[in-house]
Structure 1
Amino acid sequence: MEEPFSVRIEVRGYETDTQGHLNQAVYLQYAEHARWSILRRGGIEQQDLLARGVGPVALETNIRYLRELRAGDEMDVECVFEWSEGKVFRIRQTIRKTDGTVSAEVTAVGGLLDLSERKLLKDPREVFEELASDPSVFGL
């Protein structure tokens, strides 16, 4: 099996809380950064989506915090797309320290919004396949 896409991030001091742990809201920012990074890796830029008249939307996000992260820790944020029939897809993300310790698991449900109709597209896979230079990055 091919390794999942990942992006390396280092925890910055100002991202920590009063206990010295990574602030819980920053996990969402790391996950979002990784999702935009995988889009770019597959050849899809934000302006490509806007030119097509669509935008990605988060419909649900769940985070399981497993091990703390502190300033200076490096981690890889993995992204794996999971497709089903219909309007939505899942993105499973693992936030893993470089020593292999899993710090958090993020599961997001998303879709592609038609920006003029303000409705989810019936099959977001079609747009990913159309715009991507490498659809395999998205499991297509």
Structure 2
Amino acid sequence: MQNYIFEIQLKVRDYECDLQGVVNNAVYQNYLEHARHEYLSSKKVSFKELAEKDILLMVSRIEMDFKRSLTSGDTFSVKLRTERQGLKLLFFQDIFRSADNSLCLQAKVEVIGKINGKLNRGDIFDTLDFN
């Protein structure tokens, strides 16, 4: 079992599904991003305030492994944990269908920081307390 530090519950909307009746694969990135933003918000980290200080946090890489499909009306949870790796902050995010707690997606999202247009050495993640 993972040591998740944050969880959010969401529900699939009809327009997120493709002609096969399953959530379009690109929509999963929206779910993951929404969970990351809510997590950062819970830690009192504001993207708007960071941007005003010319601090940019950006996704540099995403790996997604699709396990099971979500369909219209499904409720699900996005759970995450973080880990520092050199210049990067890694988000390990899993999506579980609520009805049967089945794993639908596993993702690894790599985030980098730029301050005043320059790549940060990762210490920005320490100062913002992401754990």
TM-score (normalised: structure 1) = 0.84
Question: Could you list the runs of 5+ residues in structure 2 that have no partner in the other structure?
Answer: none
**SS of the counterpart of 2:78?**
strand
Cα distance change on mapping 1:53 and 1:90 into 2, 3 Å: same
Contact 2:6–2:79 (CA under 8 A) maintained in structure 1: yes
| Percentage identity across paired residues of the two chains | 25
Aligned equivalents of 2:34, 2:104: Cα separation in 1? 17
Aligned equivalents of 2:127, 2:49: Cα separation in 1? 10
Aligned equivalents of 1:2, 1:88: Cα separation in 2? 19
- Pairs aligned (count): 128
Contact 2:4–2:80 (CA under 8 A) maintained in structure 1: no
In the alignment, is residue 61 of structure 1 matched against residue 65 of structure 2?
A: no
Q: Where do 1:8-87 residues align within 5 Å?
A: 8-84=9-85, 86-87=86-87
In the alignment, is residue 97 of structure 1 matched against residue 97 of structure 2?
A: yes
Aligned equivalents of 1:17, 1:2: Cα separation in 2? 33
Letter of the 2:43 counterpart: G
**SS of the counterpart of 1:91?**
strand
Aligned to 1:121: 120
Aligned equivalents of 1:52, 1:19: Cα separation in 2? 44
**SS of the counterpart of 1:126?**
helix
- Greater fraction helix: 1
Question: Could you list the runs of 5+ residues in structure 1 that have no partner in the other structure?
Answer: 129-134
Q: CA deviation at 1:2?
A: 6.1
Aligned equivalents of 1:122, 1:4: Cα separation in 2? 24
Q: CA deviation at 1:126?
A: 3.3
TM-score (normalised: structure 2) = 0.90
Letter of the 1:121 counterpart: N
